[in-house]
Structure 1
């Protein structure tokens, strides 16, 4: 049984935890306030869930979901994440995160910066253009007409392969939008973001091609 580490217990992190447990995984989840503050969530999730510090969740997970915004100065447990696939669910929100000049200029994507923060991990952008509640409600079996698709972007093919398997388990198809330098194509305001309520694999691929980088 795969153990998934989850750093961030907000809407996205908690919904991924629910979906993971529903599909037979165990989760070790952390937030910024300490494991003792997660009692209600752990009680809801049941015996397949445990609370930990960020370092503890990173160490426990066979792969790890980072469901918190990027900070200009890294605050993720680099050593515990080394050698692991890290699913980065973050979207760049200036109103929340402040300005990152390299992102604003188009020199880097926010996910490339996360990869720089975690140089010994394999970062993959995932779960970024779906509303959190739909992670547990919108999935459908493989082959279902109109099955929704989600994108994944990484500099590491094995990271995309892992996310593809996880998406499929949760009920979604995958469009590979690699490398990380292309991850902006599914970001806020782009066609793939706007059409998140319903887009098949072919539609998502078309939306990613139509994306335009802000001047």
Structure 2
């Protein structure tokens, strides 16, 4: 299993800052970048998540074992694809019309958003998670192993080892994991799905995912693995 000690987050919005706080509390060294200069976000970071290091994208990536994309989906191509070469990357993004604009201008209609993120960062390994639970639930619902109130996150990607490494990382941040090994399955947790915005325990989340897998659409995704 991959040893993760340093976490980098690209995106200093609500989700990025929430994940930075969770990672810091779990004992990781955490760096975060925003859309502006370091000076622009440094004070905010110091106030909201003291101990997290504000940095430029290059420094965040260079000093991280795992990188989380917590940007508006419409901005991921502002990052040079080569910046994340050979990195394990978590896609925590969703298309959201209020921030991303017209869907057809952001995403091609023939594949899911994470498939397109993986295609763009072709020399990186993308795993999708943290996208279906609201930032406030991420912040408030993290619990240690064995806590009956613990919630679960969906984790999916094409690389089995990477998915397992990310699942372990999710566990350390305070959540159970329902694992899938097909990045296209991420559509089950995107806006418009019953799971989007839901904060569920492991059994409920797994039951919902298993039910989806038995639908015609779910079988089509599974067959494409």
* TM-score above 0.5: yes
Q: CA contact under 8 A between 1:58 and 1:77: conserved in structure 2?
A: no
Matched, 1:153 2:156: yes
Matched residue, 2:223? none
Cα-to-partner distance string for 1:141-185 (whole Å, 9 max, x where unaligned): 212224211101111112211221122112110011331111101
Give the CA deviation at 1:72.
Answer: 7.6
Cα-to-partner distance string for 1:2-55 (whole Å, 9 max, x where unaligned): 111110000000001111111111111101111111122332333x32211222
May I ask how many residue pairs the two structures share in their alignment? 209
CA separation of 1:2 and 1:99: change in aligned 2, threshold 3 A: same
Q: 1:111 aligns with which of 106, 109, 114?
A: 114
Matched, 1:100 2:104: yes
SS of residue matched to 1:192:
coil
How far apart in 2 are the matches of 1:59 and 1:186? 30
5 Å-filtered alignment, 1:1-215, equals 2-44=5-47, 45-46=49-50, 48-71=51-74, 74-97=77-100, 98-100=102-104, 105=109, 107-194=110-197, 196-197=198-199, 199-211=200-212
CA separation of 1:72 and 1:36: change in aligned 2, threshold 3 A: closer
TM-score (norm 1): 0.87
- Unpaired stretches in structure 2, ≥5 consecutive residues: 218-225
How far apart in 2 are the matches of 1:53 and 1:72? 16
How far apart in 2 are the matches of 1:66 and 1:72? 10
Larger fraction in helix? 2
SS of residue matched to 2:141:
coil
Q: CA contact under 8 A between 1:70 and 1:114: conserved in structure 2?
A: no
- Unpaired stretches in structure 1, ≥5 consecutive residues: none
How far apart in 2 are the matches of 1:201 and 1:73? 30
How far apart in 2 are the matches of 1:188 and 1:144? 28
TM-score (norm 2): 0.84
Give the CA deviation at 1:104.
Answer: 6.6
Cα-to-partner distance string for 1:183-215 (whole Å, 9 max, x where unaligned): 101111212225x13x222211222244476xx
How far apart in 1 are the matches of 2:75 and 2:56? 21
CA separation of 1:93 and 1:81: change in aligned 2, threshold 3 A: same
SS of residue matched to 2:74:
coil
